[in-house]
Structure 1
Amino acid sequence: MIRVGVVGASGWADGSHLPALAALEAFEVTAVATTNQASADRAAAAHGVPHAFADAGELAEHPDVDLVVVSVKASGHAAVIRAALKAGKHVVSEWPLGVDAGQARELTEAAVAAGVVHGVVLQGHHSPSARFVADLLADGRIGALESVALVAEGAPWGGSRIWPNLVFGLDPSEGTNILTIMAGHFLAALERVAGPLTEVSARLPRTHDRVVVAGTEQTAPNATPSHVLLHGLLAGGATASVAVHGGNGPIQDAFVLKLVGSDATLTATPAQRGTFIHWGDWDIRIGDDPVVVPDTYRTVPTGVRSGPPANIAALYQEVAQAIAEDRQPHPSFETALRHHRLLAAIERSAADGTAQNIA
């Protein structure tokens, strides 16, 4: 049994990590931490967890914790990860790993030096639909892949309004915006299907210098992109075109992914309206013919096969296997570092108008 402490239990983790962990026999959530003791106590009571903390360091040091889950704002990841590594605990961090590629490199080097298992929540890597489509391409079902096109909605980022709890992300130093969060996850899913990008040319338009804080008459300054536009080359030689457009939501069509091969075109859209590419099942077609994902690609318990917990649960299954086999899971911190370098290349290209190679 892997004993887990969840830092940030009253936020995103409440509807994603905690249900995913509760459904898996290999894990037991033994501790939670939030920004204050009262909310930590409430989260512990709601999920039947014995230990509650207002300090992530105390959680990491507790002897009943083997694995620390980091589900706080991106700007807070580094402090919690360092506390976990200092305590010699395995760690799973939400994406993005850090606020930028430099911080991601420091955290990756520290995790490797600590000799613990380290995973990152780029859950598109564990999407049954993404894995299945990748296998279809590998099996030559559409011939040689020639081009990839992805159009995706990036709301709630990039629009003329922002929810009060997301205003902090209008500051690029927070590492939480349409490029890092939305495009970051979408590109990870695209690369899981079609292979890694090796070169990008990008633009990051900022449509709104100030945005309205929803539910108020106030506005807030915005220094983050409204859209993410890029063309690129994939390692296999195909081209890629990606447009992530910001907006106020709610999400409607969510995404359209087209994979054009020498023999046929594969199209993927959400099986459930309004579901992001890295969260839910896809409606997959080759030409006009529907293609169903086999049940063998679905490894998580039936109770967590939809919504945000689904692919996060699959990630935790991979983490459990990695711990048992004394190896690193996929995606690991090294995976996250390479993905941060991709986003940094997009930023450089947008800033100077040149194509950038991804290191």
Structure 2
Amino acid sequence: MTDQPIRVGFIGLNPGIHWAATAHMPALKALKADFQVVGVANTSLASAQNAADAFDLPHAFATPQALVASPEVDLVVVTVKVPHHFELVTAALEAGKHVYCEWPLGNGLAEARQLADLAEAKGVVAAVGTQMRVAPEVEYLRQLIADGYVGEVLSTTLIGSGGQWGAETDAAHAYLYDKTNGATLLSIPLGHTLAGLQEVLGGFDQLSARLINRRGTVHVADTGETIPVTSADQVLVQGALQSGAAVSIHYRGGMSRGTNLLWEINGTEGDIQVSGASGHGQIVQLAIRGGNGDATGLAPLKPPASAHAGWPGDSTARNVARLYARIAEDIRKGTHTAPSFRDAVVLHEVIDRIEQASAREAQ
């Protein structure tokens, strides 16, 4: 592909507080030389036209099928709810388009595997939005570990709060409480953060798990309804990484008045703590503290200033922008730097193992 901007078409872009508007659009604005957003398809032509008008886009497509078939679109970005990923991503791949799909890639492991196989057969760039992997703090942390800052890693502990999956929600997020939709505490906030953890420390070897539902119902504030909850609001995982390091994880629904993200790495020569405002490690600004050698406590550790130079100041948009930059490189140079659909399958496999382990424990 030439150095002309890569033309982007969104399936699922609405003005306001929606994810594509608050994360993707600012990210792409920072990469004007690489990308041009040219169109949108939503649930109706009227909705698409509203978004096109709001963002000054030249094309409002009547259907997602019209968008993926358009010669005006090079990269299809799918930012709708998880149950619709498989159908829409399949259509984009069959049309021969590059694809950026939000995480989770599919509603379960089987869908993710089918999409990864199709993407490879089509020979396109197919990236998944596990953007914590490319956060400057995570890249810096990975280098610290590789350079031996903590020596040999002995153990790691992760605690996080999901924000949703608590006692109250709204109609827009009510689908998260039905586990059949594939958008759970395990798959979204913990899944995103596991992508970062494995980027730094490697994959899992043995694990055991429990998925516990402590709240049988949730109040939907804007409708006044009370609906049943089938998705777990407590996720417990323990075991060992492939390196042999011990691992312990507890994610809980809602928000805590205390700790909402704390990731510790303990080694033979030092210790590191990573913290944030919520358990969504892909979104929040991460803070790193560490100590090694003769140090008796922890002190701030920060990536070099160059790691943030030229990127959006907000961590949410910054991490998404850094992923888009990798997609541009992969499309133009034939490289494989962005988290791929095959990488997504590996993460889906971990989540499936956690679910299966919990099912065995419950027997």
TM-score, normalised by the number of residues in structure 2: 0.92
Report the 3-state secondary structure (helix = DSSP H, G, I; strand = E; otherwise coil) of the residue aligned with 1:156.
coil
Instruction: State the number of aligned residues.
Output: 348
Match of 2:275 in 1: 269
Match of 2:60 in 1: 52
One of 53, 71, 84 as aligned partner of 1:76? 84
Match of 1:357 in 2: none
The one-letter code sitting in structure 1 at the alignment partner of 2:235 is: V
Q: 1:344 & 1:69 partners in 2: Cα distance?
A: 25
Identical amino acids, percent of aligned pairs: 36
The one-letter code sitting in structure 1 at the alignment partner of 2:30 is: A
Mapped contact 2:10–2:39 kept (Cα < 8 A)? yes
One of 202, 209, 220 as aligned partner of 2:216? 209
Higher mean C-alpha displacement, 309-318 vs 274-283? 274-283
Q: State the Cα distance separating 1:38 from its structure 2 match.
A: 1.9
One of 35, 38, 44 as aligned partner of 1:36? 44
Query: What does 1:216-231 correspond to in 2, within 5 Å?
Result: 216-231=223-238
Deviations 1:202-229 (A, max 9, x none): 1100111222112443211111101111
Q: 1:32 & 1:298 partners in 2: Cα distance?
A: 30
Match of 2:286 in 1: 282
TM-score, normalised by the number of residues in structure 1: 0.93
Residue 92 of structure 1 pairs with residue 100 of structure 2: yes
Higher mean C-alpha displacement, 186-195 vs 336-345? 186-195
Q: State the Cα distance separating 1:349 from its structure 2 match.
A: 0.4
One of 244, 248, 253 as aligned partner of 1:237? 244
Residue 322 of structure 1 pairs with residue 330 of structure 2: yes
Mapped contact 1:124–1:279 kept (Cα < 8 A)? yes
Report the 3-state secondary structure (helix = DSSP H, G, I; strand = E; otherwise coil) of the residue aligned with 1:212.
strand
Higher mean C-alpha displacement, 174-183 vs 284-293? 284-293
Higher mean C-alpha displacement, 214-223 vs 35-44? 214-223
Match of 2:120 in 1: 112
- Give the alignment's Cα RMSD to 1 decimal: 1.7
Residue 294 of structure 1 pairs with residue 298 of structure 2: no
Q: State the Cα distance separating 1:161 from its structure 2 match.
A: 1.9
Deviations 1:247-268 (A, max 9, x none): 2x48874301110010111111
Match of 1:123 in 2: 131
Report the 3-state secondary structure (helix = DSSP H, G, I; strand = E; otherwise coil) of the residue aligned with 2:162.
strand
Deviations 1:172-209 (A, max 9, x none): 22111111111111111111221112222111001112
Residue 331 of structure 1 pairs with residue 359 of structure 2: no
Mapped contact 1:123–1:312 kept (Cα < 8 A)? yes
Mapped contact 1:94–1:121 kept (Cα < 8 A)? yes
Q: 1:275 & 1:231 partners in 2: Cα distance?
A: 17
Deviations 1:35-88 (A, max 9, x none): 122221121122121001231110111111000001000001111111111211
Match of 1:259 in 2: 265
Q: 1:289 & 1:171 partners in 2: Cα distance?
A: 42
The one-letter code sitting in structure 2 at the alignment partner of 1:254 is: N
Q: 1:219 & 1:54 partners in 2: Cα distance?
A: 35
Report the 3-state secondary structure (helix = DSSP H, G, I; strand = E; otherwise coil) of the residue aligned with 2:20.
helix
Structure 1 pair 312–146 and aligned structure 2 pair: CA distance change class (3 A): same
Q: State the Cα distance separating 1:125 from its structure 2 match.
A: 0.5
Higher mean C-alpha displacement, 288-297 vs 229-238? 288-297
Structure 1 pair 164–250 and aligned structure 2 pair: CA distance change class (3 A): farther
Match of 1:152 in 2: 160
Deviations 1:320-345 (A, max 9, x none): 11111213343100000111110000
The one-letter code sitting in structure 2 at the alignment partner of 1:5 is: G
The one-letter code sitting in structure 2 at the alignment partner of 1:289 is: A
Deviations 1:132-184 (A, max 9, x none): 01100100011111000011111212x12222111122222211111111111
Q: State the Cα distance separating 1:346 from its structure 2 match.
A: 0.1
Q: 2:181 & 2:22 partners in 1: Cα distance?
A: 23
The one-letter code sitting in structure 2 at the alignment partner of 1:217 is: G
One of 170, 173, 176 as aligned partner of 1:169? 176
Q: 1:216 & 1:45 partners in 2: Cα distance?
A: 29
Mapped contact 2:162–2:279 kept (Cα < 8 A)? no
Structure 1 pair 231–8 and aligned structure 2 pair: CA distance change class (3 A): same
Higher mean C-alpha displacement, 313-322 vs 31-40? 31-40
Report the 3-state secondary structure (helix = DSSP H, G, I; strand = E; otherwise coil) of the residue aligned with 2:163.
strand
Report the 3-state secondary structure (helix = DSSP H, G, I; strand = E; otherwise coil) of the residue aligned with 1:113.
helix
Structure 1 pair 325–278 and aligned structure 2 pair: CA distance change class (3 A): same
Q: 1:134 & 1:80 partners in 2: Cα distance?
A: 34
Report the 3-state secondary structure (helix = DSSP H, G, I; strand = E; otherwise coil) of the residue aligned with 2:253.
strand
Question: Which segments of 5 or more consecutive residues in structure 1 lack a partner in the other structure?
Answer: 355-359
Structure 1 pair 27–254 and aligned structure 2 pair: CA distance change class (3 A): same
The one-letter code sitting in structure 2 at the alignment partner of 1:46 is: A
Structure 1 pair 349–19 and aligned structure 2 pair: CA distance change class (3 A): same
Higher mean C-alpha displacement, 315-324 vs 52-61? 52-61
One of 185, 188, 191 as aligned partner of 1:178? 185
Question: Which segments of 5 or more consecutive residues in structure 2 lack a partner in the other structure?
Answer: 292-297
The one-letter code sitting in structure 1 at the alignment partner of 2:299 is: D
Mapped contact 1:88–1:116 kept (Cα < 8 A)? yes
